[in-house]
Amino acid sequence: MDKSNNHPLWMNIFRHKDDAITAVCRLWSATPLFKKIPNSYIHRLVKNMHPRFYKQGDMIFTTGDIGAGAVLIKSGEIDIKAGEKVLAKLRTGDFFGEVALVVDEPRTADAVASTDCELIFFLRPDLEEWVHNTPRQGAQLMANISRILAGRLRHANDMLAEKKEQ
């Protein structure tokens, strides 16, 4: 049974927002983006992140949009598409669009809500403020982003090599 339901009603009034933040913190801390970053720092950052709600079939972004940040799926499912082809299916706890945290480049694919979903936007201004205020953790986050992007590059190279061999 969910323990949170045992709280008296008046406690829920005060707990609601904090519980939501803790839930988002838990999701972010499980991602490689926040590897080796203490929860207290993630909590401070998550307080300023931006929850948005999308209905099934809504476009989150389209190819060519200038992105403002990374997106975490708090609930629901997202399809990452190139034209009609589905490149990836993402679920609760997955994140995407992290390239926009570091560069002003256009998005390289479409993201469509395949179910109703709640997304948490982690935007570049939030990141910059946070890096400025907590430089050590900021450096760790930047190292994590570099690792993720390097992984993506390696994956793309492998795919190219496979295609060449074929």
Under the rule (CB under 8 A), what is the footprint of another protein?
48, 50, 52, 54, 58-69, 106, 121, 123-125, 129, 132-134
Cα dihedral: 1, 30, 38, 34 (round 10): -150
Q: Of the two residues 28 and 69, which places its CB atom closer to another protein in the complex?
A: 69
Q: Sheet harboring 50-54: ordered strands across? A: 50-54, 117-123, 69-75, 95-96
User: Closest distance between another protein and the C-beta of residue 52, in Å?
Assistant: 6
User: Closest distance between another protein and the C-beta of residue 57, in Å?
Assistant: 12
Q: Of the two residues 22 and 121, which places its CB atom closer to another protein in the complex?
A: 121
Q: Of the two residues 25 and 138, which places its CB atom closer to another protein in the complex?
A: 138
The CA-based angle 3-5-9, given to 5 degrees, is 135
Best CA proximity match to 79, nearest among 106, 98, 99, 61: 61
User: Closest distance between another protein and the C-beta of residue 12, in Å?
Assistant: 22
